[in-house]
Amino acid sequence: MASEMIVNHQEEAYSLLQADAEKILRLIKVQMDNLTMPQCPLYEEVLDTQMFGLSREIDFAVRLGLVDGETGKAILETLERELSALHEASIRK
């Protein structure tokens, strides 16, 4: 029962972190489509703040043993690749 609970908490933590990463991607997409360009300091500030917050969430989950360090790193790397592709696409417009 206890190991089942741990697995459930780990799965929930991963899902929440993944959802937060997706929220950041959606936020940046909306910002790029409607509000500011990637060169704008406001865009950079929002992106930096959101990425820092997510990295702190991941660090906390890793320290609690809910997420493996490599898994947390993979969430950030995937988001960074997606944001980079989004940035590249906006430049080509």
The pLDDT score that the predictor gives to residue 30 is 83
The chain-wide mean pLDDT, for the chain, equals: 87
The pLDDT score that the predictor gives to residue 79 is 95
SS3 assignment for the chain: CHHHHHHHHHHHHHHHHHHHHHHHHHHHHHHHHHHCCCCCHHHHHHHHHHHHHHHHHHHHHHHHCCCCHHHHHHHHHHHHHHHHHHHHHHHHC
- State how far the Cα of 25 lies from the Cα of 84, in Å rounded to an integer: 10
Architecture of domain 2-92: Orthogonal Bundle (1.10)
Residue ranges of the chain with pLDDT lower than 70? Answer: 1-2, 6, 35-39, 93
By C-alpha distance, which of 27, 43, 32 is closest to 79?
27
